[in-house]
Homo-oligomer: A and B are copies of this chain.
């Protein structure tokens, strides 16, 4: 004897049709703003809609139209990063903007556990979205596999190495890293270390590669400390380790600004001053960069523009266009502040 939930029954086109004394077809035409409806019919129907409180059921519409006007934005990151990393938020906002223009709904899907992976997989397969923007896919990512299997239109932000021919947009992490390392070299630094993070992702490994490129012969792998995440905490730990290994370093390339912020703290704790004793550069030009003392010289990453471009590429696919080239790069730039 439980009391029934107070869910009022939704009005349908049928109800509206009856109320207005017309057929369902005519109602549908009015709702979708088509031509060929008489003024009087339109009027009666609009009144009826108002009266019965009709709202179209999109699930039904989707079923027959075979599209949803929604696209998934899949964030596959550990908690801490989604919360910490302003880039993701900006990519999301840029994508939302472009999709919004095209009258598509962005739905953001957070993958946070194995369990989530399964559910999202079902969600994507279930016809809830017309396509997906995939942020920071892992190598051998089950979600990527599903996308391929379904032939679901998708654009990736970044390009995991095992991605076949799926379109992606990103920045050129490798050459940008070489450039920013050049700042260190240009400042006369000779013992340059790197705190390399997230090597399981293309961004992480490309940044390391760029660092290596810039150093050439002088590259010394003992000066590279690998840490798992682009986090403040890992930056601190990694830099402490670096100082232990090689106390006389005079330059540090941190794989992200958050990492650089941690590096700065570790250096301060070790009694080094920046930029007098050691120069530090980061990557991202996130809020961290300005918050640091001294503010960071870093790579400006136009996150919103990346999101926007990703959305545009996806929309093009939805229109049935073939994307070529599959990869599209948004240009970065160096911003010089006080840390070198």
Q: Which residues does A use to contact B, with CB under 8 Å?
A: 2-8, 10, 53, 55-63, 68, 70, 79, 82-84, 86, 89-90, 92-93, 96-97, 100, 103, 105-110, 112-113, 115-116, 119-120, 122-123, 125-128, 149-151, 153, 287, 291, 317, 320, 322
Residue from the list B53, B70, B83, B322 in contact with A128, Cβ < 8 A? B70
* Closest chain B residue, CB of each to CB of A92: B110
Tell whether, in the assembled complex, residue B83 and residue A83 are in contact, meaning their CB atoms are under 8 Å apart. no
The 6 closest A-B pairs by CB, nearest first: A58-B126, A108-B108, A83-B89, A5-B320, A55-B125, A59-B127
Quick one: copies of this chain in the complex?
2
Tell me how far the C-beta of A265 lies from the nearest C-beta in chain B, rounded to whole angstroms: 10
Tell whether, in the assembled complex, residue B4 and residue A123 are in contact, meaning their CB atoms are under 8 Å apart. no
Tell whether, in the assembled complex, residue A59 and residue B68 are in contact, meaning their CB atoms are under 8 Å apart. yes
* Closest chain B residue, CB of each to CB of A165: B4
CA of A114 to CA of B276 in the docked complex: distance in angstroms? 50
Tell whether, in the assembled complex, residue B105 and residue A93 are in contact, meaning their CB atoms are under 8 Å apart. no
| Most chain B C-beta atoms within 10 Å of own C-beta, residue among A2, A6, A105 | A105
Residue from the list B10, B62, B97 in contact with A59, Cβ < 8 A? B62
Tell whether, in the assembled complex, residue B125 and residue A56 are in contact, meaning their CB atoms are under 8 Å apart. yes
CA of A287 to CA of B85 in the docked complex: distance in angstroms? 12
Chain B residues near A123 (CB-CB < 8 A)? 58, 70, 105
* Closest chain B residue, CB of each to CB of A97: B112
CA of A25 to CA of B96 in the docked complex: distance in angstroms? 41
Tell whether, in the assembled complex, residue A57 and residue B106 are in contact, meaning their CB atoms are under 8 Å apart. no
Tell whether, in the assembled complex, residue A126 and residue B84 are in contact, meaning their CB atoms are under 8 Å apart. no
Chain B residues near A53 (CB-CB < 8 A)? 149
Chain B residues near A4 (CB-CB < 8 A)? 320
Residue from the list B55, B61, B109, B322 in contact with A150, Cβ < 8 A? B55
CA of A85 to CA of B69 in the docked complex: distance in angstroms? 29
* Closest chain B residue, CB of each to CB of A68: B59
Chain B residues near A84 (CB-CB < 8 A)? 86, 287
11 of the cross-chain contacts (CB-CB < 8 Å) are A5-B317, A58-B122, A58-B127, A59-B68, A59-B128, A60-B127, A70-B123, A79-B93, A96-B116, A105-B120, A128-B128
Tell whether, in the assembled complex, residue B119 and residue A103 are in contact, meaning their CB atoms are under 8 Å apart. yes
| Most chain B C-beta atoms within 10 Å of own C-beta, residue among A105, A106, A107 | A107
* Closest chain B residue, CB of each to CB of A110: B96
Chain B residues near A7 (CB-CB < 8 A)? 151, 153
Residue from the list B59, B122, B153 in contact with A63, Cβ < 8 A? B59
15 new A-B pairs (CB below 8 Å) besides A3-B322, A83-B86, A83-B90? A4-B320, A7-B151, A55-B125, A55-B150, A58-B122, A59-B68, A59-B127, A70-B123, A83-B89, A83-B287, A92-B110, A100-B112, A105-B109, A107-B109, A108-B110
Chain B residues near A113 (CB-CB < 8 A)? 100
